[in-house]
Structure 1
């Protein structure tokens, strides 16, 4: 699982930089300002959670494959896919049903942080 989480973290980080640069240079003036802000939010959360997932992978390496850590990593990855992915889709004119997907992705990311908290509480066990 360490290799998978590190790979996903690296992919999220690399694509986050590419998407951020594209947004800054390729979208300005081409999409409405509110959509550009949503896009930037997607990139921002993607980058934060790429680093969080990287940290989870390192913690798994150090503490072992505890259920809470594995859950945290999975929730971070899926949360980014839904949260940031839906914001990117909406920016490029995707279907309106993507709007309700965004908060679902946010809830998954919050769940990832809660699972990481649980892992920390169970550290001494």
Structure 2
């Protein structure tokens, strides 16, 4: 789980840099300013999650179920949150039903929040 967390963190970081550059240079001509702001939010939170996963992957030993869930929830939550935002950003360009995708975004955010809460509890009960 440790290696998986570190690899996903690195992949999330790589993808967020690529998408950030793509958004800054190519998307201005394709999507509206409002959609671009949303797209950038997805990229930003994906990068936050990349840092989170790299740090957590380095710090945690993944010996307990709670430690594993910290990683799983952040990985899944980030994927759901950011990918749904990316899809909604392109909803005007490609026929993507934003009414279906829109309600999914908060679910991803909730999973990310729960991951942070579990991390707080883990640190609070740890003896350093």
TM-score by length of 2: 0.91
Structure 2 residue 118 is matched with structure 1 residue 115 = yes
> What is the aligned partner in structure 2 of residue 73 from structure 1?
71
Question: How many residues matched?
Answer: 123
Provide the rounded CA distance (Å) in 2 between the counterparts of 1:100 and 1:65: 34
Q: CA RMSD in A?
A: 1.4
Report the 3-state secondary structure (helix = DSSP H, G, I; strand = E; otherwise coil) of the residue aligned with 2:103: helix
Moved over 3 A (4+): none
Provide the rounded CA distance (Å) in 1 between the counterparts of 2:125 and 2:57: 17
1:77-117, CA deviations, whole angstroms, 9 ceiling, x for partnerless residues?
01110100000011122222110011111101001100101
1:53-82, CA deviations, whole angstroms, 9 ceiling, x for partnerless residues?
111111224xx5232221111111011101
Provide the rounded CA distance (Å) in 2 between the counterparts of 1:65 and 1:51: 21
Unaligned runs of 5+ in 1: none
